[in-house]
Amino acid sequence: MPYIIRRLQDDYPQYQLVAGVDEVGRGPIFGPVVAAAVILPWDHGIGGLRDSKKLSASKRVALAVAIKTKALAYRVEVMSPAQVDELNILQASLTAMRLAVLALAPQPELALIDGNKVPQGLPCPAKAVVGGDDCLDGIAAASILAKVHRDALIDELALQYPGYGLAQHKGYPTKQHLEALTRLGATPEHRRSFAPVRKLLESVDE
């Protein structure tokens, strides 16, 4: 049976401009956290939308092109590893989502945020939706844009910092990544507030 995702229009018919908002990259120990906000027209006709983690890389890229073509508005925001370390990962994620919504033109009448927390300072009412990236089309679209954007950034950084296997694990703390971190040390793009990197740097300072 084909996977079917609900349309924002069906759940929130009283609104014309509803933004789906999501972030990617909270778990990695390397690289930025990225958020996206998307306003899709009700009749966008984009098939195959769902949580970006459940799609192949090629499918995500194809869907990202369709989303950008059909969207009434979209925005991607990036928070660097230094900003993640300064704010903490939760606040950096919420800040990126807030900035993405604020940059939309037109502005949404409602923002639906994947997860269980809503950023402060949004220009419209907002609601957190747990698992929204796999049940509502607008949030799924945001998830896809954020994931494609972050993966492209990491692929560029993989060329700059060879030996860590970044193109494969995208900065997540896999066995391969942790072994390379121990062997090669931390790069400027590693998150120093995250335990594996922090402990490595502490051991070097001793």
**CATH number, domain at 22?**
3.30.420.10
Q: Is residue 172 part of a domain?
A: yes
pLDDT, position 1: 42
pLDDT, position 11: 83
Q: Is residue 28 part of a domain?
A: yes
pLDDT, position 9: 74
pLDDT, position 206: 57
Q: Is residue 178 part of a domain?
A: yes
Cis (ω within 30 of 0) for the bond into 106? yes
Query: 114 near 68, Cβ under 8 Å?
Result: no
Q: Is residue 41 part of a domain?
A: yes
Structure tokens at 175: 């066995």
| CA pair distance 21, 99, nearest whole angstrom | 11
| CA pair distance 31, 170, nearest whole angstrom | 8
Question: What's this model's pTM, rounded to 2 decimal places?
Answer: 0.95
CA 118 to chain centre: 15
What three-state secondary structure class fits 74?
strand
Structure tokens at 26: 């909270």
Q: Is residue 117 part of a domain?
A: yes
Compute mean pLDDT per 10 residues along the chain, 206 residues long, and list them: 70 91 98 98 93 96 98 98 98 98 98 97 96 95 98 98 97 97 97 96 76
Q: Is residue 192 part of a domain?
A: yes
pLDDT, position 45: 93
Task: Report the domain count for the chain.
Answer: 1
How many CB atoms sit inside 10 A of residue 58's CB?
Answer: 8
Dihedral of CA atoms 62, 65, 71, 77 in degrees, nearest 10, equals: 110
Q: Is residue 3 part of a domain?
A: no
Q: Which residues constitute the domain of residue 186?
A: 8-205
Q: Is residue 1 part of a domain?
A: no
DSSP-assigned letters across all residues of 111-174: EEEESS---SS-SS-EEEETTGGGTBHHHHHHHHHHHHHHHHHHHHHHHHSTTS-HHHHTT---
